[in-house]
Amino acid sequence: LVRGEQASEAPAPRCVSPKTIEQWTKRADNGDASERASALRELASDLAASYSAQLPPAAVDVLRRSLAAPEPEIRRAAADALGTTHFALKETLGAEALQSALTDPDASVRAAIVTAATYGVSPTAEIKRVLADALKDPDQRVRERAQAVLDHEQIDDLLGDVLRTGD
């Protein structure tokens, strides 16, 4: 610190306002697929930038609905949004979203959800079982992404063992 300066305080928690969530929800539920997908990307961006541990229930609801939308573009945008949001949101939707999305008729949605459900978090045992099932997917992208996550987890487990035992 330079003389006369005071230590800066940690940034105040930044939350996404309920009004903003309400606006995204309306945009994500109405309009054409492109507008709805854009709203989901903005929602994900703002939630990812939020320092708040509080996840607005409306955000969870709009992602859940969007993952079940009839348009593949919306489902992909929801999967991508899931991948960039808080780990707590992924804990809420991760295994459930991954399980249902693996039956999606659109391979790009299946691939996006495999990546998104595990991005930035260590998969739970339940998600690892679902990823193992994804290794049998007819689409190569889905299989490769699932294998990459499982390989990464195996390496992390081995490194953890080495660090714990000192070997």
CA distance 127 to 132: 9
Per-residue pLDDT of the chain (167 residues; tens, 9 = 90+): 445 545 445 444 456 677 777 888 888 888 899 999 998 888 877 777 765 555 677 777 888 888 889 999 999 998 888 777 655 555 666 566 667 778 899 999 998 888 776 666 677 777 788 888 889 999 999 999 889 888 887 665 655 555 566 55
- Reported as type and span, the H/E element at residue 85 is none
pLDDT, one tens digit per residue, over 125-136 is 777 888 888 899
**Total residue length of the chain:** 167
Q: Compute and round to an integer the Cα radius of gyration of the chain.
A: 19
Q: Which pLDDT belongs to residue 13?
A: 47
Handedness of CA 112, 117, 120, 122 (dihedral sign): negative
pTM over cut 0.75:
no
CA distance 97 to 113: 7
Nearest to 65 by CA among 15, 94, 25, 10: 25
